[in-house]
Structure 1
Amino acid sequence: MKNAILIRGARVHNLKNVTVEIPRNHLVVITGVSGSGKSSLAFDTLYAEGQRRYVESLSAYARQFLERLDKPDVDEIKGISPAIAIEQKNTVRTSRSTVGTATEIQDYLRLLFARVGHTVCPNCHTEVKKYTTEDIFQFLIARHPDAKALLSFPPVIDEHNSWSMVLRNLKQAGFHRGVVNGQIVELEKIDKLDPQNPACSILVDRLRVTPTQRPRWMESLDLTFQFGQGNIIITIIGMAKQRSSINKIDTQASSAATSGDECVVYTFSRQLMCPKCGITFLEPHPRLFSFNNPFGACPRCRGFGDVIEIDLDLVIPDKSKSLRQGAIEPWNTPSNCYYYEWLEEVAATYNMPMDVPFYALSQEHQNLVINGDGSFPGVRGFFEHLEEKIYKVGVRVFLSRFRGYVSCPECHGTRLRPEALYVQVGGLNIGQINRMTVKEAFDFFNNLSITSYEEAVVHQVLTEIRFRLRYLLDVGLGYLTLDRRSATLSGGEAQRINLATALGAKLAGSLYILDEPTVGLHPRDTHRLLHVLQMLRDIGNTVIVVEHDREMIENADYILDLGPAAGVHGGEIVFQGNFQQLLRSCHSITGSYFRGEKEIPIPSQRRKGNGHFLHLRGVREHNLKNINVKIPLGLFCAITGVSGSGKSTLVHDVLYAAIKRKKNQWKRRVGEHDILIGDEYIDDAILVDQSPIGRTPRSNPATYLKAFDGIRKVFAETRVAKMRGYKPGTFSFNVKGGRCEMCEGAGVVQVEMQFLADVALICEACNGKRFKKSVLEVKYKGKNIDEVLNMTIAEALTFFKDVPSVVRPLRLLDEVGLGYMKLGQPATTLSGGEAQRVKLAAHLAERRGKHILYIFDEPTTGLHLDDISKLLQSFERLLRAGNSILVIEHNLDLLKCADYIIDLGPEGGEEGGWVVATGTPEEVAQNPNSHTGRFLREYLHHGIDSKVSVFPAKNYG
């Protein structure tokens, strides 16, 4: 194959001496079952070698600051370009990073406001502008051609300069006349008037506004600016009174300087000073609009946007409680309960009910409770009193329970100093633009109306802003606001932001490697993401995508299918070619699903549930529109909707938090809603999300499911271990004793790469084996502890078949599709989907005997169609045990198997937040307003109108 990347003899992880050619400047999809070697080929081979070669290409001086990167286990790689990996991880931890800063839109906004921003006085709302001598002359020529004008400046009189001193200095400088209300007056006579009268100024010149007078105008204006400390007053005489939209003061002249006619007075300044209020403003500069720069950051919150204050959501955590039921948490202590008695007296005075839910109180009564009145301190007064005793440890601990991050009262969350918010473009300040969603901002800048001169100045800036917003829309992130913190983004959202940033950089000749970019994306938006990847390809890049999505595979230029199975049974190229060839391949499991030979069957029966429901009423957190949601229990329920429609807000921020608070297991803020009903029908709620199972390389699947405890006991019972006095703890890499102390049992040492991403290097002391040499001499069935940890879960099941304490948890890991994973695989290397399935296996291992609501957030992440079948079998086990399952999901193969669907939308952001459709998949598919329903129709082969039988689940009433 000409113009291709050649990989010969790749043996990284489970790859079996793979040799393959990947066409350059194509969109290439690598697919296959979980654990077949996709990431090993894409990231651990291609990307690792691309990064290594980049480092090797640096000068010897630069390389001395960097550690040498190990070469992947491969014979040869030819034709590789500089590699850029965009993984499905959000590594941002700082709260200073936002969507705007991550995509560089914020940088361009700073330039835009610094170059063409209009400063507006906050008091009189007058635009403030500074003028050059040329600006003033051209203005007068345009407005008052051939008019007579008096050029003057206001005297500077303050506590340091009296009028007599100013008068003496003016005479010495050659000034003898002034202008008062349009009249030319001798300076000595001004003393008898009011020299601080704004209509009083010092005359510099009398001129006619004509082009031939331009040299004299320039000279006189410069002189006036000099003596007026940057301020000029121009009086047009012999003219009818008129008004101008530019900065000016219109004055009715008592008598004109010569003819007694009316005059027009203009005030100009070289400084940004309001002519009406006299307020001086800061010069717009890019750093003024940066909250990461001390100059532009809000002095109160230092550019973070929030401050630690008393959080009323923690003070009144359950607004469904009445005051008499103890709605105010800090007063529910023996030492503070007398505040309720005090409140009873105040309530009688103001006719405030004490037995209604707090949310049902009028705004006036709620303000009374929080802010108090003259005799009653209220909640705020209570805490102000406690602040006086903050020197006591007990008081500080008590206050910390009710403190949280709240929006900064000075900048109202914009993060910027007030002066930055006085500058506007298109009638909005930078804080208002940052609060817009990507879609709103895109519409705003597409319709932005500025002058032709301003357009010429910021044409490139506006082009870059529009391009980046367009890319964010194309990758399905139109619902995100520009001030959204990067740390709060999901892995899929962070990946798509990095993708949009890569497009904005317009790099060509590079190798882009992406890990499942469709994660978290509704099927409706997949085609737009596909278009972005094709654009990246068309500007001269090679794009390699690890993906399972059918639409992505179908539109790929070239497909690599790895398999045939996972772990030791995978690592081979079972197919390479285009989509039509894939459909004809008899060796590809992926092809067999697409041909219809294999499929995830639609259930012939839908569960009816146990007759109980969770009712959420009045949910209005974030973009949710005061909705009521009814979630059936005892079945498999799915929450669907386009990206940004409010699914995570509903499930994570409201439902899960509200259940946990009712069970007294939640002290943090709960999303805004009126009431939760039906929580008594479940014993607990467990969130199985994609967060890591551990933060260090020492955490792994075996330790998480406690299988490693049994393994350590087996090794401690061997003859050699007993002779040496080894205990189970000796075989642990979490405590001192048997582990390698140089890497502290991690097997690798983290090396900071200065301006590159940190790199984990194999520990030189133990060669990555984690344990001391003496510990590795202990063997069980011919294997030492390191060799056991390098076994896959499937291999370990056979090896430890006689050890029930090890087999039981490992079998569950195998059943959820993780048989390919190594026992000792560091938790830091697990994908979000793998971490979620490890948690699922842990929950399957627990025998609770209770009714648990299991909440899964996109459980199909990283799963091949063959793996989704295994996931559904695990769900079936949980349901048969009498539990309920609630998933947030976009995958249609999973949704068609759900018993009940709640579809949110219809769009993302402010256009979402409504319940669009509810019911079985068949019922949702019939709803014309549901985007999910439209795509579901294609998956329900048995017909929309056919009746689906239902059977009841076990009733836990």
Structure 2
Amino acid sequence: ETDSSQQRERIEEYMSFRPCPECRGARLKPEVLAVTVGERAIHEFTRMSVTRAIEFLDRLELTSTEQLIGARIIKEIRERLTFLDNVGVGYLQLDRAAATLSGGEAQRLRLATQIGSQLVGVLYILDEPSIGLHQRDNDKLITTLERLRDLGNTVLVVEHDEQMMRAADHLVDMGPGAGEHGGHVVAEGTAALVERNPKSVTGRFLSGQREIAVPERRREDNGSFWVRGAAMHNLKGIDVEFPVGKFLCVTGVSGSGKSTLVNEIVYKALANRLNRLRVKPGLHDACEGIDCYDKVIDIDQSPIGRTPRSNPATYTKLFDHIRELYSLTPEAKVRGYKPGRFSFNVRGGRCETCKGDGTIKIEMHFLPDVYVPCETCHGRRYNRETLEVRFKGKSIADVLEMPVEEALRFFAKIPKLRRRLQTLHDVGLDYIKLGQPATTLSGGEAQRVKLASELSKIATGRTLYILDEPTTGLHFADIEKLLEVLQRLVDSGNTVLVIEHNLDVIKQADWLVDLGPEGGEAGGELIATGTPEDVAAVEESFTGQFLRHVLPANTAAAA
């Protein structure tokens, strides 16, 4: 009944969804459910996965009268299902709630809709359609995009996937760096042409001049943590071992149960016991060996803040120390300014016209809101008196406008600030400004800000970090930096557990857990565990088949 969203969130912690006792989740009246086709009611058909639905239609036997009535409808349904299967979402159930789809899945569903429309002369723009796709399904996606092209359309894709780059007719490589160091076209042409361009970082990775090396595997045995009888969604009551103090990777085709195992069971079971979170873990018998961890941290790609007031400096607690530094300057002491004076969230130092936002929101009825720079402070957030306090000639507003790279040089002599800025530099975020609104950061950037925040803390060495597809939106060179950071976390004694499709990450892991063999109902089984070399030797593993091409030829020597 309450109107307060906070109260509602608190009450929802104690609520859970149950199927309706009358219709058992079918949503329809008994009279409607009495109508069947091939002895199946409509809700039984929508509970099937796309691939099962295609098989059902292929086996459907109709009388000549039924054939007359239904032939065209069945042809339409089969065509649409085939499109879905071709873009790699054959494992999804037809009645799956749209809110539970990942970004990549939703994008591929929209793609399937477009193929069905058979339009010609259209420019299609896709932003990383390969997110969450296993290497095996990538071919299907590329074939689908080529089919759109062959119909007479132009397909423009923003992508970091090597297979997709090689399949493209024309590549445009932007760079050379990121942020203010980017914005130039470094190379263009076919993949072969870009490979030969010495200025292109992408080209160097494509040609093999630069590659992400396979590190020494960690051999020491620090014990293991076990999940017993994991049986949520499509998991088939599996027992999984996760060695402690190593870089672990959960792999498998899309829909094989990776997120269910890691996010719904491992994270929630540990968060319940270690972090005292009130969350209900997925169905499993037991978790053994939890005592080796003191906390579990899920570093996901959700935004670091919902408002423009939140930024990398506030999130990493860097801004607290910067404000403290400004309050210690001679000018601030003379005026009696405390750290609070330099906050743009409270009265005193901020510009009162825009309440410290730097912009003023103009509500346009029936149109999106328009933001204009504040006329009083010209987007600088603070009043004139506050901006008169300077450190090395820069005001607090100038510091918020600095990219990480410049700030690192500016505060080089101040250890507290340098340590935090160094971690932002290490995760490859040199180009973002300290005061950049959190709402303008991409998912990958937000995740790396969280990683930097974790790295700058004093480590206990007994933490489990969970990352779900951290390479989303990352270039080869950024993946290299991200892996260095993750390996550093493990070197400190922590355990890093990653769900990943990217082979460069998978080959760096100390231990793999491969689920499969397929997605949806045909998945949820444990196919292989062990080092990447062990998994590459397993014939039934699709991940293993692709791993063989990226592991060094002499795998024994690498291990």
TM-score using structure 1 length: 0.54
- Of 129, 135, 138, 1:517 maps to 129
Q: Which residue of 2 aligns with 1:436?
A: 48
Q: Which amino acid aligns with 1:787?
A: D
Q: How far apart in 1 are the matches of 2:385 and 2:59?
A: 72
Pairing partner for 1:889 from 500, 515, 535: 500
Opposite residue 169 of structure 2, the aligned amino acid is D
Give runs of aligned pairs for residues 480-519 of structure 1, distance below 5 A.
480-519=92-131
- Structure 1 residues 639 and 457: alpha-carbon distance in aligned structure 2, compared to 1, 3 A threshold: same
What's the C-alpha RMSD, in Å, of the aligned pairs?
2.9
Q: Supply the distance in 2 between the matched residues of 1:893 and 1:755 (Cα, whole angstroms).
A: 47
- CA-to-aligned-CA distance 1:175-210 (integer Å, 9 cap, x gap): xxxxxxxxxxxxxxxxxxxxxxxxxxxxxxxxxxxx
Q: How does 1:270-285 map to 2 (within 5 A)?
A: none
Query: How far off its partner does 1:935 sit?
Result: 0.2
Identity of aligned residues (%): 52
User: Do the aligned partners of residues 772 and 456 (structure 1) sit closer, same or farther apart at CA in structure 2, a change above 3 Å counting?
Assistant: farther
Go from structure 1 to structure 2 and tell me whether the alpha carbon gap of 1:911 and 1:746 turns closer, same or farther (over 3 Å shift): farther
Q: What is the CA distance between 1:749 and its match in structure 2?
A: 5.9
Tell me, in whole angstroms, the C-alpha distance in 2 between the residues paired with 1:405 and 1:741. 46
**Which of residues 315, 319, 322 in structure 2 aligns to 1:708?**
319
- TM-superposed deviation, 1:489: 2.2
- Note the alpha carbon deviations across 1:745-784, whole angstroms, 9 max, x for none: 444566788888x465334545544444654555444444
Aligned to 1:554: 166
- Structure 1 residues 535 and 707 mapped into 2: Cα distance closer, same or farther (>3 Å)? same
Secondary structure at the counterpart of residue 818 of structure 1: coil
Provide the rounded CA distance (Å) in 2 between the counterparts of 1:763 and 1:501: 41
Cα drift, residue 816 of structure 1: 0.7
CA 1:487–1:744 in structure 2 vs 1: closer, same or farther (change >3 Å)?
farther
Deviation at 1:882, TM superposition (A): 1.1
Alpha-carbon separation, structure 1, partners of 2:55 and 2:514: 27
The aligned counterpart of 1:793 is: 404
Q: Are the counterparts in 1 of residues 274 and 296 from structure 2 also a CA contact under 8 Å?
A: no
Q: Secondary structure at the match of 1:935?
A: helix
- Cα deviation, residue 448, structure 1: 4.3
Instruction: Check the 8 A contact 2:175/2:181 in 1, yes or no.
Output: yes
Q: Aligned to 2:427, what secondary structure does the other structure show?
A: helix
Residues 573 and 398 from structure 1, CA distance in 2 versus in 1: closer, same or farther, beyond 3 angstroms? closer
Match of 1:545 among 132, 146, 157: 157
Give structure 1 stretches of 5+ with no counterpart: 1-307, 309-396, 950-957
Cα deviation, residue 849, structure 1:
2.2
**Which one of the candidate residues 600, 605, 608 is aligned to 2:212?**
600
1:611 is matched with 222
Partner of 1:536: 148
* Structure 1 partner of 2:443: 832
Distance 1:631 1:540, change over 3 A: same
2:463 is aligned with what amino acid?
I
Q: Say whether the 8 Å CA contact 1:437–1:909 is kept in structure 2.
A: yes
CA deviation map 1:19-45 (0-9, x unaligned): xxxxxxxxxxxxxxxxxxxxxxxxxxx
1:761 aligned to 371, 377, 389, which one?
371
Return closer, same or farther for 1:453/1:582 CA change in 2, 3 Å cut-off. Answer: farther
Change (3 A) 1:458 1:809: farther
Deviations 1:223-271 (A, max 9, x none): xxxxxxxxxxxxxxxxxxxxxxxxxxxxxxxxxxxxxxxxxxxxxxxxx
AA at the equivalent of 2:140: R
C-alpha distance in 1, partners of 2:359/2:337? 24
Name the residue aligned to 1:676.
287
Alignment deviations for residues 879-909 of structure 1 (CA, whole Å, 9 cap, x no partner): 2211111111111011111111110001000
Distance 1:413 1:822 in 2: 49
Give the match for residue 521 of structure 2: 910
Instruction: Looking at secondary structure, tell me which structure has more helix per residue.
Output: 2
Q: 3-state DSSP class of the match of 2:157? A: strand
Q: Kindly state the Cα deviation for residue 487 of structure 1 after the two structures are TM-superposed.
A: 1.9
Match of 2:4 in 1: none
How far apart are 1:948 and its partner, in Å?
A: 4.3
Determine if contact 1:748/1:760 at 8 Å carries over to the other structure.
no
**1:858: Cα distance to partner?**
1.1
Q: Distance in 2 between matches of 1:772 and 1:456?
A: 77
Mapping of 1:375-454 within 5 angstroms? Answer: 403-450=15-62
How has the CA–CA distance of structure 1 residues 591 and 850 changed in structure 2, closer, same or farther, with 3 Å as cutoff? closer
Counterpart residue number, 1:202: none
Q: 2:298 aligns with which of 670, 687, 698?
A: 687
1:940 aligns with 2:551: yes
CA contact (8 A) 2:364 2:370 kept: no
Kindly indicate whether residue 277 of structure 2 is the aligned counterpart of residue 663 of structure 1.
no
Q: TM-score, normalised by structure 2?
A: 0.90
Tell me the SS of whatever aligns to 2:431. coil
Report the AA paired with residue 666 of structure 1: L
Distance, in Å, in 2 between the alignment partners of 1:622 and 1:414 is 18
1:566 paired residue number: 178
- Segments of structure 2 that go 5 or more residues without pairing to the other structure are 2-8
Matches within 5 A, 1:438-477: 438-450=50-62, 461-477=73-89
| Cα separation, partners in 2 of 1:679 and 1:743, compared to 1, 3 Å | same
In structure 2, the CA distance between the partners of 1:674 and 1:592, relative to structure 1 (3 Å rule), is same
Q: Distance in 1 between matches of 2:386 and 2:476?
A: 42
Distance (whole Å) between structure 2 residues aligned to residue 751 and residue 499 of structure 1: 35
Q: Secondary structure at the match of 2:399?
A: helix
- Structure 2: which amino acid aligns with 1:608? R
User: Which residue is 1:874 aligned to?
Assistant: 485
Quick check: 1:480–1:644 contact (8 Å CA) kept in 2? yes
Q: Could you tell me which of 468, 472, 476 is aligned with 1:865? A: 476
Retained in 2: the 8 A contact 1:511–1:544?
yes
Within 2, Cα distance between the matches of 1:399 and 1:838? 31
Determine if contact 1:608/1:635 at 8 Å carries over to the other structure.
Answer: no
Deviations 1:831-870 (A, max 9, x none): 2221111111111111132411111111212221112221
Looking at structure 2, the residues matched to 483 and 451 of structure 1 have their Cα atoms a distance apart, in angstroms, of 28
Secondary structure (helix, strand or coil) at the match of 2:460 reads coil
> What's the counterpart of residue 952 of structure 1?
none
Show the counterpart of 1:72: none
> In structure 2, which of residues 233, 236, 256 is the aligned counterpart of residue 645 of structure 1?
256
The partner residue of 1:478 within 86, 90, 96 is 90
Aligned length: 551
Measured in 2, the distance between the counterparts of 1:919 and 1:536 equals 40
| Alpha-carbon distance change, 799 to 682 in structure 1, aligned in 2, over 3 angstroms | same
CA contact (8 A) 1:742 1:763 kept: no
User: Which residue identity does 1:761 align to in structure 2?
Assistant: Y
Tell me which of 615, 634, 638 is aligned to 2:245. 634
**CA separation in 1, counterparts of 2:12 and 2:198?**
64
Q: What is the aligned partner in structure 2 of residue 250 from structure 1?
A: none
Deviation at 1:524, TM superposition (A): 0.5
CA apart distance, 1:496:
2.3
Distance, in Å, in 2 between the alignment partners of 1:788 and 1:464 is 60
Distance in structure 1 (CA, Å) of the matches to 2:471 and 2:350:
36
Change (3 A) 1:722 1:452: farther
Determine helix, strand or coil for the equivalent of 2:229. Answer: strand
Distance 1:594 1:656, change over 3 A: same
Contact 2:13-2:279 at 8 Å conserved across structures: no
1:609 and 1:417 map into 2 onto residues whose CA distance is 60
Determine if contact 1:609/1:633 at 8 Å carries over to the other structure: no
| CA gap 1:726/1:486 in 2 versus in 1, 3 angstroms | farther
What does 1:8-407 align with in structure 2 at a 5 Å threshold?
A: 403-407=15-19
Q: 1:405 to 1:897 in 2, by over 3 A?
A: same
